[in-house]
Amino acid sequence: MDDVRLRLLTMLADRPTRTSVAADFGDVERWLPLSRFLVTYTAGPYPDDDQDRLIRGWLEAGGRWLGLHGTSGGRAARTDGGRRMVRTAHHETLGAFFLNHPPLRRFVVDVVAHPLTLGVERFETADELYFIELTHPEDTDVLLTTELPADPAPGFGFSYDGDTSLLADGRTRVLGFTRPVGAGGVTYLALGHSHHPATNGQPWVDESVATGGITPPVFRGSWDTFAFSRLLANALDWGCRV
């Protein structure tokens, strides 16, 4: 989180905005009504039902929310031999629900032409490939996709009953989208895993990322690619109305 926070603050410093930082949603009732743009990154803390209602009302009144990576996560429940994600109200507001991701791997991202993807073409990255279910596909504009027909590491991470992240063709997964919410809107980019030795908890990775399946002690993945940097710049401009 420290590296991500620094990068986002550096990019926001170049835009006509003043930025505040919070560790959770505890003071969202105080600050959100004064704000026009919300950026979130981590899977937890996540907004509770009351905080979600405030966020949804703020969006409907014209606010814009950029959710990155872990934003589609949240609370995990213990199951026999593992964990699974719990669907909460904020997934409906965001428009995405995280199911799981295989170990860090290299994959190709396909890009849909849209103002938010301006200047970005099909690219390769190494990252956590999030399996996300669209909760409002009927009003969602897809920005990024990749192809992975089946979970390559069943049993890794979180369990799920069915792979609802797969689109109708049985091979395409959404990695980024934008959708309107009243007079405002949400943009979500699933890419963006980052860790250093103190925050890495993954026991092994795809061998295309690290020789011998050893987890890199420092990993920035998509954050160090031109494509993701440009996507972020576009999304921050969208949120700041540049």
* Per-residue pLDDT, 215: 85
Three-state DSSP state, 29: helix
pLDDT tens digit string along 52-106?
999 999 999 999 999 999 999 999 999 887 899 999 999 999 999 999 999 999 9
Tokens of 83: 């964990």
Mean pLDDT calculated for residue range 24-28 = 95
User: Which CATH fold topology does 2-240 show?
Assistant: Rossmann fold (3.40.50)
b/e string for 86-101 if b means 16 or more Cβ within 10 A? eebbbbebbbbbbbbb
Beta strand segments in the chain, E: 37-40, 64-68, 76-79, 82-85, 96-100, 105-111, 123-127, 131-134, 141-147, 172-181, 184-189
Going from N- to C-terminal start, the domains of the chain cover 2-240
185-206 pLDDT, tens per residue?
A: 999 999 999 999 998 888 878 7
* 37-55 confidence digits (pLDDT tens): 999 999 999 999 999 999 9
pTM (predicted TM-score): 0.96
